[in-house]
């Protein structure tokens, strides 16, 4: 589906739903929230989202992270969970990382490969963690240990 159709879908969804106060959004079933993300993902087909769709996805991510923090997010909902990345696309949390090392990225372009993407900067680290997104430091530590870039000394 083309970009205009995805934006129209998001605008309709926002007009009909996000004009409600946040407390009313919480009353909506979490299945509805994850379904909206799944629909946006399916309709976008790997293209960047419009600003309206990004806003919609960020609102839903915040609400779902609050549910996850309270252990109220059902495991069946995780299958349709998508988060917006820094390049305005929806991806599975398993494909994303959050930057818990902002000093490391300053002035450097991190090459995370084609399968790992930085989560949108408006998703906080605590929200990302609740949504099952891995920390950048964990990814870098894993790469360093695989490539034997450091030696850990153990002393007794």
- Going from the first residue of the chain to its last (156 residues), give the mean pLDDT of each consecutive group of 10, the final group possibly shorter: 48 49 57 84 85 91 87 70 92 91 65 81 94 88 64 52
Contact 60, 70 (CB under 8 A): no
Backbone dihedral angles phi then psi of residue 14, each to the nearest 5 degrees? -65, -45
- Show Cβ contacts of residue 101 under 8 Å, excluding neighbours closer than 6 positions: 136, 137, 140
* R_g of the chain computed on alpha carbons: 17
Q: What is the pLDDT of residue 57?
A: 92
Identify the bridge partners of residue 85 per DSSP, sorted by sequence position.
119
Q: What is the pLDDT of residue 144?
A: 65
Q: What is the pLDDT of residue 1?
A: 40
The pTM of this model reads 0.74
Contact 18, 59 (CB under 8 A): yes
Dihedral sign computed on CA atoms, order 18, 19, 21, 27: negative
Q: What is the pLDDT of residue 75?
A: 67
Q: What is the pLDDT of residue 2?
A: 43
Q: What is the pLDDT of residue 21?
A: 45
* Residue 155, number of CB atoms within 10 A of its CB: 3
Q: What is the pLDDT of residue 71?
A: 82
């Amino acid at each position: 589906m083309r970009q205009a159709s995805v934006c129209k879908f998001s605008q309709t969804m926002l007009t009909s739903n996000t004009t409600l106060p946040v407390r009313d959004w919480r009353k909506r079933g979490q299945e509805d929230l994850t379904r909206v993300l799944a629909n946006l993902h399916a309709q976008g087909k790997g293209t960047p989202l419009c600003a309206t769709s990004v806003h919609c996805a960020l609102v839903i991510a915040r609400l779902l992270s609050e549910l996850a923090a309270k252990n109220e997010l059902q495991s069946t909902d995780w299958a349709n969970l998508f988060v917006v990345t820094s390049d305005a696309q929806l991806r599975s949390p398993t494909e994303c990382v959050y930057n818990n090392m902002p000093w490391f990225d300053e002035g450097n372009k991190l090459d995370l490969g084609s399968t790992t993407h930085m989560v949108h900067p408006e998703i906080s680290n605590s929200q990302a963690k609740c949504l099952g997104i891995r920390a950048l430091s964990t990814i870098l530590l894993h790469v360093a240990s695989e490539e034997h870039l450091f030696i850990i000394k153990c002393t007794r």
